[in-house]
Chains A and B, each alone.
Chain A
């Protein structure tokens, strides 16, 4: 792939990237969230098309105009969210879309033989050709996807974070299969955040950062530290206004909290007037923890102390009453009701100020909404227009303004700046500063490390469900955060004393 570029709206996802893949090699593609890895492989697999650049496959120029065209060439993608029909059997799934038939009648025997050959190759104790997919573990499903690619005679396999939800055992099994595939001459593009794994399995690597290619090299000549250095680069901290604020008593405490979808127990202390940053990879447990605190997931173990009161599970309604607010990471699906008006979305969590005999005083609400639109500098034509008509940044500000309107003192913000423009971002940072100055407290989950370092008082890092390190922000840098997030510990002994509290 040469000179590949891709823009999504105002953001440049890929900028003049070159990438080459050799026969029978495992090539790791690494970079932070949003560096452009997924976009690059999506272009190769035909899911999105490049704006510029050219692709050569086996020496021929090749334009992957749609997923089918790529599949015919022998490029198979194994997605993070698996692409299997849960009710169909292993065999049916493997043959789906490439059924062998004569005059429309399926050739059962021939298909069975093909499937058995593929399953023989991947060898997994759970997988039998007749059992339905939904009965398999995540690891086994992944293997079925690979078997499917084998039946399709894939020459290139793309794996996007294949191990992020696998157990140790399944990971090893997957690696064995990858080794076997390599020996057969299949090339593999392997995307992963887990650098130690990458180092074990990959022959070469390419690092992307902010849509640009930083380096391609041989894995054995490169240390994990070098990789991290390349991933984070030299980012300067900017546009983060430091607003003086005082840190006070404890307002929220999690004691051995374990929710339905959390992998491990979590302890955490949040103080009045504090911005606590939470870093970690996607799926490491950050979002799940916030959702458990807010009552969107049920509590299995442990307690949540709000102020000085111990509480177990509380519904979102209870939590809002305890002046806690949550900003969802998914603005489109959860954060906003897109078909409702700006006014409804802004006031949905607190109607009581406008209530009289159970009816809403719309005029009074309209005035209040206009005040908030002005306060939050939200560009909207009218409070009654549907929120879907606003830009991403303004939508996000509506979602945030809702928390302010409901007078939340503890704000749980999950990726508040994802996918919005720079102006809106800096405005949100400014807000956060003003809010803690007023004595509110914020838990700030983000995948963008510079902003965590720029606005937080303290940062903690999640690694595979465990909340690992709490340290004042001055004891962190992008490199150490990335190290803890990907390895679960600090890389070098000599760095420990530098970090130690």
Chain B
């Protein structure tokens, strides 16, 4: 005699399958990073150098600028938008910081100015998108030109040299008090990543962003104030670009208006590799950060192998397409 009906057994199987599915969905982005690490640490030529602490440290430091941009970009993309002005905004903020230090402001104020500049650019993006009802692509494409132009204008079309201050130590590869282990910039990045992850997942604001990106009509129906939330999203994205610009200045020790050209695409790629959907409603901070590190380790590994730049570009391009394709397949299966 059977104790269980076939239907029950089937249902239990499905439950197990669902559990495995959720686990896979959760692990998905990790797998990519894991794969990259495994591949490079198994190639004999680079294996010993690749996993060395000093290398990990330098990869982490190199990632800070893209990672900070990706924090804001994650919010923007989840809300169903895009920010093409991110890289120009970073350059502008780095120029403003250098300019302020040069003029004689204290480093703290200069740093603040840099971050706020980014915030103002983001605020302008959000205000234009909501008040003129233009698509984010167009508004931020325009801002990409405007911010870059203003940066060059302020810098007089050349680099701004600024005296060395403690600001330049934020991005030092080996931190001064050695108990910090990694550069202060990396700690700042980790702090904000955790904070933004909590906000995205547990705050009312975060839920509203997901709702707007998932279905704006429903969000409106539920009384969510769309314009206000969108402006806030773009302002936050701008502030992170500002912070990223300060880091750029700290790394270069000069304010360079021509820095980070095309970096916005790296930032967007990181978010998308991490599961962000360009049609909105999906994405996570953890995923985006993993996206950042996948790209950073790939670059690092390729450089160690002595592969030319164009090989890196081809590989990263392929990774973006593959990552999104895999993500879609996963979603189709779970739907």
Contact = CB atoms under 8 A, between A and B. Distances in A.
Interface of A: 294, 296, 315-317, 319-321, 326, 328, 333-340, 344-345, 348-349, 351, 355, 358-360, 362, 388, 402
Contacts of A335: 218, 221
A348 B222 contact: yes
Given A334-B215, A338-B215, A328 B202 contact: no
A316 B214 contact: no
Contact of A334 (B207, B211, B221, B335): B221
B203 A358 contact: yes
Q: Secondary structure of the B side of the interface?
A: helix
A316 B220 contact: yes
26 contacts: A294-B221, A316-B222, A317-B224, A320-B223, A328-B217, A328-B221, A333-B217, A335-B218, A338-B214, A339-B215, A339-B281, A339-B282, A340-B210, A344-B210, A345-B218, A348-B207, A348-B218, A348-B219, A348-B224, A349-B222, A349-B224, A358-B203, A358-B204, A359-B202, A360-B203, A360-B204
A337 B215 contact: yes
A482 B312 CA distance: 70
Q: Secondary structure of the A side of the interface?
A: mixed
Contact of B207 (A320, A339, A344, A388): A344
Nearest to B280: A339
Contacts of B205: 358
Contacts of B225: 315, 317
Nearest to B227: A315
B281 A317 contact: no
Interface centre among B205, B214, B215, B218 (most CB of A within 10 A): B218
Nearest to B282: A339
Contacts of A319: 223
B198 interface: yes
A351 B204 contact: yes
Contacts of B282: 339
Contact of A337 (B202, B204, B218, B223): B218
A402 B222 contact: yes
Contacts of B222: 316, 320, 348-349, 402
B221 A296 contact: yes
> Shortest 10 CB-CB distances between A and B: which pairs?
A349-B222, A337-B215, A320-B223, A334-B217, A337-B214, A317-B223, A348-B222, A337-B218, A316-B223, A351-B204
Contacts of A355: 204
A349 B220 contact: no
A308 B215 CA distance: 34
A321 B210 CA distance: 22
A296 B220 contact: yes
B215 A336 contact: yes
Given A349-B222, A355-B204, 20 more contacts: A315-B225, A316-B220, A316-B221, A316-B222, A317-B225, A319-B223, A320-B222, A335-B218, A337-B215, A338-B215, A339-B215, A348-B211, A348-B222, A349-B223, A349-B224, A351-B207, A359-B203, A359-B204, A362-B202, A388-B335
B214 A339 contact: yes
B333 to A, nearest CB: 14
Contacts of A316: 220-223
A315 B218 CA distance: 14
